[in-house]
A and B are shown apart, each in its own frame.
Chain A
Amino acid sequence: MMATRPISYAVLRGQVIESDLIEFGGRSGDISFLAPDPQKIASRIPLASPRLMEDLYDLSFEDILDYLAELGARLDVNGNDYLREAREHSYATAPTTKPIMDHFFHDMPFMFDKERIRGMVDFNIGVDYLERWVEQEINGSKVGIRAYGARTLHIVAGNGPVLGALTVLRGAVTRGDTIIKVPSNDPFTTGAIARTMVDMAPDHPITKHLAVAYWRGGDEALESQIYQPHNIEKICAWGGFASVKHVTKYIQPGIELISLDPKRSASIIGPQALEDDEAIEETARRLACDFSVGNQTACASARMVYVMCGTEDEDIEKLKTLGQKAYDAMFDLPEVLTTKPKRYDPDLKSSVDSLRFSEDFYTVIGGEEGEGAVIVSHTSDRVDFWEYLGDRTVNLIPVDTLEEVLDVVDAYTQTVGIWPESLREVVRHKGALHGGQRFVQLGYVFNGPGLVGPQDGIEPMRRIVKWIISEEPSEGRKGFWEADKEDIKVVA
């Protein structure tokens, strides 16, 4: 058995570590895997001194793009044994299924396309700010601003294998020193990318400024060593209530927390979307994309759908039609986008099944075979287990007014899908006040520009750099020592 267990390799600054392996995982039916004993490698995870970041400044932005483009070419899973192995092992750890995982891996090289990266960086930070001091005159001073890389520890989510790749890429373009703590639901992919980097350019500064390792989140003995201001400046934590919460105890002056809190998402649909059969059909197809793609494992996946169709009996009949069509439309989507869920949450099944006995108040469409279900509420109530909706299970809720919908948009609401477009102005404005963070057209939750800008109400890329200011007096600005008393102003 020992030999067949997969390894989550630690890749520390150009060195692949596969010694002192110990066992992790294996709880509640999960596979177990091996990883280097974190205590044995702890001292090598952080960068010894911030001074050592100087080598990144021997590279131009174009050099970095060249490196990433070459890496992207090597991340073709068909020609990369490490990735192929990671993909194979990930089938067992990932929350999604083989066709969906295959597609993620297939698309990975496209993330490294030079123009795509350049566009993303320019849109977020501005390439100039990374390359040089951007100077301008203000209040009698010449002010230069430059974005410097930081030593950042990333605690990445594992519900899709692309987040490790995205983090590697963001670290490289910002000239950061990047430590990635991989999660137990994706312990292999990021290490495979890092191993590819080591093969490609073992001594390159970008390779040297990446450390990838697995340790159990909350391992105090280890984390209290690493999470210190002399080792890291920022912690970027993705999701997971427990994972974010336990990190907060290390936050102190000198360490900044960039928290991408756990989120959920909803859709808001206006009455026009149910006007006739054709409209219902289109709305259903759009809706199916937003709740079923990636098998509803992402924070952006729609879970509750508010439809402003009214709550009279005939309105509910229309809503049931929408529900049935959305359920059917889910099966028309290609398997690279959505499949029967890997394992239907048994508690969710029990909750869904209990509604079948409450037919005055709910209609349950599907869900008998663990394939996913559409639950149509007959009153303006969401199901009581709304927080557990997943595995392609969506709740359609009829409402009379927009206000009722906004009541449930809160700080945990990330994406709101809107249809038709005429609702956008009011929904995005009021929705933002209530806490919503991303507003998209229904059907396009996963078909947008990518993670190019703000996310969860913050701008992670702008947060993982240090914004440094350089000031010199403009010509003619007098020093205090030479100015008249009445000309001296000390203003913040």
Chain B
Amino acid sequence: MATTAPPQDATTEREAEAWMEDPYGYFGHHNTRIHSLERGHVEAVQLAAMNRRLAERRDQIQVLQKLADGQGIDGLASLDDMAPLLMPHDIYKSYPVSLLAKGQYGKLNTWLSRLTRHAPNEVDVSECDSIDSWLVKLREETPLDVATSSGSTGTCSFFPKSKKDYQVSVMGLRVQLAQKFGGDPRPGDINDAMHAVVPLYRDGHASTGAFPKYIREAFCKGDDSKLHTAFDFKISSDLMWLAARLRAAAAKGDASKVDVPPALLARREEWEQSQAEAPARQMEFINRMVTQLRGERVFAMGTSNMFYAVAKKGLEEGIRASFSPDSVLMGGGGAKGVPLPDDLEEVICGFFGFERMTSGYGMTEMNSFSILCEHDHYHVLPWVTVFQLDLDTGQPLPRKGKQTGRAAFFDMTQDSTWGGLVTGDLVTIDWGNTCKCGRTSVALEKKINRVSELQGGDDKISCAATPQAQSEAMDFLTGLGG
């Protein structure tokens, strides 16, 4: 296939460049404007941005070069031409696990370098003796802040996100959550230092610890006293990985078959204890915040299930929060196959005193969270192109009518990686209808399934083993954003 980009239009090109570089700044951090653009215009800018990125990144990111060369793609004439250049999310864990077990961070660095335009391989990691020390070193010496996540099979993925990626990501939360859609932002919406209540870890490389330092910038305007976390320490990626591996091994009947350094193994109890205590400490934390931040404008972000548990108990005890009414709470974790209670919103809003709770759809591999509107649609930011791929052929489904397919995205704001990603999620979009909420941006239906949940179907019995569904124990670790 050999396609070429359409002729360039100077205005569109300038706009594409601005969206790629500083999308929120370009729109004056104006949530309503961001979600009120005309579709044809958005798609023209997206196409221009794709071509710019391709030209720029193909020599910077080796996997992209390989893919684009292999497909013979030099330019994109339409959005759908991007489909062959979207990368499977598995690529971020496509290293042999023994490298990690043996602590070969140099080799891991080489592997990681192929996935980003930055150069982790130029960092000397010979002294690194743990995942944490490796990733801290990269954070100190490169623009990267690599994101980790542990899966139920005991693997750990490394997504070479940059600090700028995190900044864009959290700015998106601030703009979309602190402003109501439909009007202009009030001055404080953009500039006030808000209190951030995050019942997670203060630091870490996984999604349960990575966000607070960026939330401090975007929400607290750098004021450390306004950042409230339940656990004022860093969550260890080494311990998370160890726990995931031990759990995977135990599920297979022999936990002794895990090759782990004794020093790490010794910390297992510490980890398990902190895990066991976590729910109680989170509850205590929220209750403390409820008293301490009475009347304050608050941004709270955590998993829906955790907020629900806290709220339910609070209501039973006759406690109600009274934050300022323009506070906002974002839950997440509902799309991971974890059932959410029917009265979720009622209980959470009843306790926190908000009109409604918001939730977001996003993932580590993207900068852009899509926020659920009051008509149950996740609205995708204009700098993200959504693709729905046919489950069997991988071909993009038409961008018209009502379609259900595997979600894939191109996020033009990605600073470090290519930005084109195929997910494991199944999404439905009605392309022909504009959402009643007034936003003109692409709207995903609330119900998002995992593609893997469809495999096997109904009551098919096979003697061959397949992995069981994601273990419940992993929910806490992966419940947010991951």
Q: A and B: real partners? A: yes
Residues of A within 8 A of B (CB): 24-25, 27-28, 30, 95, 155-159, 183-185, 216-218, 238-241, 243, 260-264, 297-299, 301, 343, 345-347, 349-351, 353-358, 360-362, 377-381, 384-385, 387-388, 390, 407-408, 410-412, 434-435
Cβ of B461 < 8 Å from any Cβ of A? yes
> Given contacts A345-B455, A411-B253, are A354 and B87 in contact (CB under 8 A)?
yes
Cα A435 to Cα B111 in complex, Å, equals 35
A101 CB → nearest B CB, Å: 15
Cα A217 to Cα B394 in complex, Å, equals 32
Q: Are B457 and A240 in contact (CB under 8 A)?
A: no
Q: Are B66 and A30 in contact (CB under 8 A)?
A: no
B452 CB → nearest A CB, Å: 6
Q: Are B465 and A28 in contact (CB under 8 A)?
A: no
Cβ of B7 < 8 Å from any Cβ of A? no
Which residue on chain B has the smallest CB distance to residue A351?
B90
Q: Are A360 and B394 in contact (CB under 8 A)?
A: no
Contact of B460 among A183, A301, A380 (CB under 8 A): A183
Contact of A260 among B91, B257, B463, B468 (CB under 8 A): B463
Contact of B464 among A156, A159, A350 (CB under 8 A): A159
Which chain B residues lie closer than 8 Å to A345 at the CB level? Answer: 455
A362 CB → nearest B CB, Å: 8
Contact of A298 among B91, B98, B454, B463 (CB under 8 A): B463
Q: Are A360 and B111 in contact (CB under 8 A)?
A: yes
B423 CB → nearest A CB, Å: 10
Q: Are A238 and B461 in contact (CB under 8 A)?
A: yes
> Given contacts A381-B97, A388-B466, are A412 and B253 in contact (CB under 8 A)?
yes
Which residue on chain B has the smallest CB distance to residue A30?
B457
> Given contacts A159-B464, A262-B464, are A350 and B96 in contact (CB under 8 A)?
no
Which chain A residues lie closer than 8 Å to B94 at the CB level? Answer: 354-355, 357-358, 361-362, 384
> B residues 52-99 with Cβ under 8 Å of A?
63, 66-67, 87-91, 93-99
Q: Are B98 and A379 in contact (CB under 8 A)?
A: yes
Q: Are B458 and A299 in contact (CB under 8 A)?
A: no
Which chain A residues lie closer than 8 Å to B91 at the CB level? Answer: 354, 357-358
Residues of B within 8 A of A (CB): 63, 66-67, 87-91, 93-99, 110-111, 114, 153, 155, 252-254, 257, 391-392, 394, 406, 422, 424, 451-452, 454-455, 457-468
16 residue pairs from A and B, CB less than 8 Å apart: A184-B460, A262-B464, A343-B392, A350-B89, A350-B90, A350-B422, A351-B90, A353-B88, A357-B67, A379-B99, A381-B97, A384-B93, A387-B465, A408-B257, A410-B252, A412-B465
> Given contacts A361-B95, A384-B97, are A412 and B252 in contact (CB under 8 A)?
yes
Q: Are A346 and B464 in contact (CB under 8 A)?
A: no
Q: Are B465 and A157 in contact (CB under 8 A)?
A: no
Which chain A residues lie closer than 8 Å to B467 at the CB level? Answer: 387-388
A149 CB → nearest B CB, Å: 24
Most central of A28, A184, A410 by chain B CB within 10 Å: A28
> Given contacts A343-B392, A346-B406, A354-B91, are A158 and B96 in contact (CB under 8 A)?
no
A-B contact sample (18 more), CB < 8 A, given A241-B466, A357-B63, A379-B98: A183-B460, A184-B459, A185-B457, A217-B461, A240-B460, A262-B466, A263-B463, A301-B464, A349-B394, A354-B94, A357-B66, A360-B110, A377-B96, A381-B98, A385-B153, A407-B257, A408-B257, A411-B253
Cα A388 to Cα B466 in complex, Å, equals 6
Contact of A387 among B98, B99, B153, B462 (CB under 8 A): B153
Which residue on chain B has the smallest CB distance to residue A215?
B459
Q: Are A347 and B424 in contact (CB under 8 A)?
A: yes
In the complex, the number of residue pairs spanning A and B with C-beta atoms less than 8 Å apart equals 163
Which chain B residues lie closer than 8 Å to A384 at the CB level? Answer: 90, 93-94, 97, 153, 155
Q: Are B90 and A262 in contact (CB under 8 A)?
A: no
Cα A347 to Cα B170 in complex, Å, equals 30
Q: Are A379 and B90 in contact (CB under 8 A)?
A: no
B427 CB → nearest A CB, Å: 15
> Given contacts A379-B98, A385-B90, A411-B252, are A239 and B463 in contact (CB under 8 A)?
yes
Q: Are A346 and B391 in contact (CB under 8 A)?
A: yes
Which chain B residues lie closer than 8 Å to A360 at the CB level? Answer: 110-111
Most central of A349, A354, A377 by chain B CB within 10 Å: A354
Contact of B253 among A240, A381, A410 (CB under 8 A): A410
Q: Are A381 and B392 in contact (CB under 8 A)?
A: no
Cα A345 to Cα B90 in complex, Å, equals 15
Which residue on chain B has the smallest CB distance to residue A185?
B460
> Given contacts A184-B459, A358-B111, A412-B252, are A28 and B454 in contact (CB under 8 A)?
yes
Contact of A361 among B96, B391, B457 (CB under 8 A): B96
Q: Are B462 and A239 in contact (CB under 8 A)?
A: yes
Q: Are A354 and B110 in contact (CB under 8 A)?
A: no
Cα A243 to Cα B463 in complex, Å, equals 10
Cα A345 to Cα B422 in complex, Å, equals 15
B454 CB → nearest A CB, Å: 4
Which chain A residues lie closer than 8 Å to B153 at the CB level? Answer: 384-385, 387
> Given contacts A351-B90, A357-B63, are A346 and B462 in contact (CB under 8 A)?
no
Q: Are A243 and B90 in contact (CB under 8 A)?
A: no
Which residue on chain A has the smallest CB distance to residue B458?
A27
Q: Are B98 and A262 in contact (CB under 8 A)?
A: no
Which residue on chain A has the smallest CB distance to residue B97?
A381
Which chain B residues lie closer than 8 Å to A157 at the CB level? Answer: 461-463
Q: Are A299 and B463 in contact (CB under 8 A)?
A: yes
B103 CB → nearest A CB, Å: 14
A106 CB → nearest B CB, Å: 22
Q: Are A25 and B90 in contact (CB under 8 A)?
A: no
> Given contacts A185-B461, A239-B462, are A435 and B253 in contact (CB under 8 A)?
yes
A300 CB → nearest B CB, Å: 8
A247 CB → nearest B CB, Å: 11
Which chain A residues lie closer than 8 Å to B89 at the CB level? Answer: 350
Cα A273 to Cα B89 in complex, Å, equals 37
> Given contacts A346-B391, A358-B95, A381-B96, are A299 and B90 in contact (CB under 8 A)?
no
Which residue on chain B has the smallest CB distance to residue A217?
B459
Which chain B residues lie closer than 8 Å to A261 at the CB level? Answer: 465
Cα A95 to Cα B457 in complex, Å, equals 12
B417 CB → nearest A CB, Å: 12
Which chain A residues lie closer than 8 Å to B63 at the CB level? Answer: 357
Q: Are B114 and A357 in contact (CB under 8 A)?
A: yes
Which residue on chain A has the smallest CB distance to residue B389?
A346
Cα A24 to Cα B458 in complex, Å, equals 9
Cα A434 to Cα B468 in complex, Å, equals 21
Which chain B residues lie closer than 8 Å to A27 at the CB level? Answer: 454, 457-458
Contact of B461 among A24, A156, A298, A381 (CB under 8 A): A156
B382 CB → nearest A CB, Å: 27
B316 CB → nearest A CB, Å: 31
Q: Are A380 and B462 in contact (CB under 8 A)?
A: no
Which chain A residues lie closer than 8 Å to B111 at the CB level? Answer: 358, 360-361
Cα A241 to Cα B461 in complex, Å, equals 9
Which chain A residues lie closer than 8 Å to B114 at the CB level? Answer: 357
Which chain B residues lie closer than 8 Å to A30 at the CB level? Answer: 457-458
A4 CB → nearest B CB, Å: 20
Most central of B90, B252, B254, B467 by chain A CB within 10 Å: B90
Contact of B457 among A159, A184, A353 (CB under 8 A): A184
Which chain B residues lie closer than 8 Å to A351 at the CB level? Answer: 88, 90
Which residue on chain B has the smallest CB distance to residue A32?
B458
Which residue on chain A has the smallest CB distance to residue B155?
A384
Most central of A158, A217, A384 by chain B CB within 10 Å: A384
Cα A362 to Cα B95 in complex, Å, equals 9
Contact of A183 among B88, B98, B461, B468 (CB under 8 A): B461
> Given contacts A345-B455, A347-B451, A380-B98, are A354 and B90 in contact (CB under 8 A)?
yes
Q: Are A350 and B461 in contact (CB under 8 A)?
A: no
Contact of A346 among B257, B451, B460, B461 (CB under 8 A): B451
Cα A299 to Cα B462 in complex, Å, equals 8
Cα A340 to Cα B46 in complex, Å, equals 39
Which residue on chain B has the smallest CB distance to residue A456?
B463
Contact of B462 among A297, A362, A378 (CB under 8 A): A297
Q: Are A25 and B458 in contact (CB under 8 A)?
A: yes
